[in-house]
Amino acid sequence: MPDDSGQNKEQKNKDFGVGIPVATRGFFLKGASHLDWGMKNRLSKIFNPATGKALMLAFDHGYIMGPTSGIERMDLSIPPLMPHVDCLMCTRGALRSCVPPETDKPTVLRCSTGATIFRDLSNEVIGVAIEDAISLNAAAITTQVCIGAEYEKATLANLSQLINEGYKYGIPTLGVTAVGKEMARDARYLGLACRVIAELGAHFVKTYYCEPGFDEVVAGCPVPVVIAGGKKLPEAEALEMAYKAIDQGAVGVDMGRNIFNAENPVAMVQAVRKVVHEGEKPGKAYDFYRTLMAGAK
Ligand code: R5P
C-alpha cells in the first residue's frame, strides 16, 4: 500500500492549475507571430509593447558622409538624447567610441560598408561579422537595399546575408529602402521596395513617408514599417510628417537630422516621442516643443 506521507503530501500541496487552459498568445508586431523567442524578445526591446511603437534615433550618417552637421561630436550630442528614445541606430564605431556602455537602450547596428558620398552609394558589402554584432549585444542588424540602382543585386544579397546570419542567433534584421537621387519617392516605388524587403525576410522596414499613398505602402508590407526623417525640415513640419506616418500605419520613426539638427534637439526628441507614443497631434506637439524650449532658456 502506498505510503501517504512525505512525497505524496507534498504533491497534494502543489497547484497545477488543472482545467485552466494555457494561453496561446499572439504577438504585438505585424508579421512576427511565428518568430522564435529571441527574435521576439529583441523586437520587444526596440518596440515598446505597451504602445506597439518605437522612437529610434538614427546617427549612422557618418559612415557615408563623415562628420555630419549636428553629430560632429557624437560623444556630446547623442547622450543627452538617449533617455528619450527607445533605440539607437548607429555603426559599431560610433557605439564603441561614443555611446556609454552602461546604457540600457537597445541598438540597431548598421552593418553595411563600401560606399561614400563620393561614389555609388549602392555599391556596398556587409562589413560587420555577426559575431561582432553579438559581442555588441545588438538588438537588430541592418543594411540598405537600393532598388533600381546599379548595384541593386548586391544590396539585396547583403540583406539576405544579414537575415540568414541573424536567424542563427535570434537577431532580427531591419531592411532600409535607400532612394537614389534619380528615383521618385512615391508610393509605387516605396511600396515595391518595402514589399521586396519584407519578402526577403526582413523583420521590419525603414522607408520614407510619401503622399499620397503611404497608407498603402504600409498595408502592402507584411512586417512593421518605420520612417526615416530625411533632410532637415522646420520642426513643425517634421512633427507633422511623423504624425501623418503614424496615423497611416507606421509603427515608429528612425529619425536623425530632424532631431539632432533641430534648434533644440532635446526638446525635439521629446516632442517626436509624444507623437509616436501618444499619437499627439502635430500642432500640440509643436506647442510642447516650444514650451520645452522656453523652459530651457
Ligand atoms: C542614412 O545614412 C541612414 O540610413 C539614416 O539612418 C537615415 O537616413 C535616417 O536618418 P534621417 O532621419 O536623418 O534621414
Q: For ligand 1, which residues put their CB under 6 angstroms from it?
A: 58, 60-61, 64, 89, 176, 228-230, 254-258
Residue 24 has a pLDDT of: 85
User: Above 80 in pLDDT, residue 5?
Assistant: no
Q: Which of 2-6, 22-26, 67-71, 235-239 bottoms out in mean pLDDT, i.e. has the lowest?
A: 2-6
Instruction: Kindly list the domain boundaries of the chain, sorted by start residue.
Output: 35-41+52-229
**pLDDT of res. 155:** 96
Cα of 271 vs centre of ligand 1, distance in Å, is 19
> How far apart, in Å, are the Cα atoms of 212 and each of 185, 188, 190, 191?
11, 10, 12, 12
Which of 30, 206, 232, 284 is catalytic? The answer is 206
Ligand 1: atom nearest CA of 230 is 14
As a whole number of angstroms, the distance between CA 21 and CA 90 comes to: 44
Query: Which pLDDT does position 2 carry in this prediction?
Result: 54
Q: Which residue has the higher pLDDT, 3 or 293?
A: 293
Q: What is the mean pLDDT of the chain?
A: 94
Mean pLDDT, residues 100-124 taken together = 90
Residue 194 predicted with pLDDT over 60: yes
pLDDT number for residue 3: 56
20 pLDDT exceeds 70? yes
Cα distance between residue 32 and residue 248, in whole Å: 20
- Which residues lie closer than 8 Å to 149 by C-beta, 6 or more apart? 120, 121, 122, 155, 178, 180, 183
**CATH superfamily of the 35-41+52-229 domain:** Aldolase class I (3.20.20.70)
Cell 537614389 belongs to 180
288 CA from centroid of ligand 1 (Å): 25
Res 293: pLDDT: 93
CB-based contact 176:143 (threshold 8 Å): yes
As a whole number, mean pLDDT of residues 104-128 equals 90
